[in-house]
Chains A and B, each alone.
Chain A
């Protein structure tokens, strides 16, 4: 029995099984992350007008506004890094590094940080560069956990 356990064949079998398990795990992680990202994109796309445009009596239907706007890349679902385009009571519109606009929801659990101090929503002004960490919600927004302002 010890000879069988230490034999070359069993080592090869174990190494193969371990490699397959690692490959399967990495593949599953990729599928899971891709699924989350594309689900967020679908919600972002469906709610684009509601999230990005101001209320109007004749707001267009779901999807991107009519015109020649190109289909954007898949936006990140768990964070956005870029400048603030507009600020409302509890949400921000941020233009990400890939020029995709994202609606960031500020909740009671959102931490706003400026350097070493804690900030407030009043510190968030248009054209400010921010980094946001959060989680996607059903409306295609990112519920912010952390909004970090970096002073230049």
Chain B
């Protein structure tokens, strides 16, 4: 058995971990950049859509007239659902998710590359 077999194994493990982290980092960065690019290109129409959201009107009614909203809860619920911009929400959540993943993978990569991987049982 080679003397540095343990270290070789650990080096391979570390290499594969760093590679996996790079892959995840690349994917999350790509997702983040794609989402931000879409927001950058479409910001005018998206801003207009946010300003004209009927869902905000529905939410305002819930605070001003809760008694009538409660009595007509089905109509209110359907109106709220049909006017909520789920595409925009999904885009925003996707960008936030990708950004958090990117930060997490960046810090994980730093931890992996700085920590010495040694299995004490293999080092005699």
Give A contacts to B, CB under 8 Å. Answer: 29, 33-34, 36-37, 76-81, 96-98, 111, 113, 131, 133-135, 145-146, 148, 150
Q: Which residues of A sit under 8 angstroms from B57, Cβ to Cβ?
A: 79, 81, 97, 131
A79 touching B64 in the complex, CB below 8 Å, given contacts A131-B57, A145-B72 = no
Give B contacts to A, CB under 8 Å. Answer: 52, 54, 57-58, 60-61, 64-65, 68-69, 71-72, 75-76, 78-79, 81-83
Task: Report whether B68 and A78 are in contact in the complex, using a CB–CB cutoff of 8 Å.
Answer: no
Shortest B70–chain A CB gap in Å is 11
User: What would 16 A/B residue contacts be, using CB atoms closer than 8 Å?
Assistant: A33-B78, A33-B81, A77-B78, A78-B82, A79-B83, A80-B54, A113-B64, A113-B65, A131-B57, A131-B60, A131-B61, A133-B58, A133-B76, A133-B79, A145-B75, A150-B64
How many A-B Cβ pairs are below 8 Å? 67
Q: How far is the CA of A33 from the CA of B76 in the complex (A)?
A: 12
Q: How far is the CA of A34 from the CA of B71 in the complex (A)?
A: 23
Q: Which residues of A sit under 8 angstroms from B65, Cβ to Cβ?
A: 111, 113, 146, 148
Q: How far is the CA of A36 from the CA of B79 in the complex (A)?
A: 10
Q: Which residues of A sit under 8 angstroms from B82, Cβ to Cβ?
A: 33-34, 36-37, 76-78
Option from A79, A113, A150 in Cβ contact (under 8 Å) with B54: A79
Q: How far is the CA of A79 from the CA of B54 in the complex (A)?
A: 8
Binding site secondary structure of chain B: helix
A98 touching B52 in the complex, CB below 8 Å, given contacts A78-B82, A79-B58 = yes
- Kindly list the 8 A-B residue pairs having the minimum CB-CB distance in the complex, ordered from nearest: A78-B79, A81-B57, A97-B52, A79-B79, A146-B68, A145-B72, A33-B82, A78-B75
Q: How far is the CA of A109 from the CA of B79 in the complex (A)?
A: 19
Q: How far is the CA of A76 from the CA of B76 in the complex (A)?
A: 12
Option from A29, A97, A146 in Cβ contact (under 8 Å) with B61: A146
Task: Report whether A133 and B78 are in contact in the complex, using a CB–CB cutoff of 8 Å.
Answer: no
Q: Which residues of B sit under 8 angstroms from A80, Cβ to Cβ?
A: 54
Given contacts A79-B54, A96-B54, A97-B57, 12 further A-B contacts (CB under 8 A): A33-B78, A34-B82, A36-B82, A76-B54, A97-B52, A113-B64, A134-B75, A135-B72, A135-B75, A146-B68, A148-B61, A150-B64
Shortest A104–chain B CB gap in Å is 13
Shortest B11–chain A CB gap in Å is 33
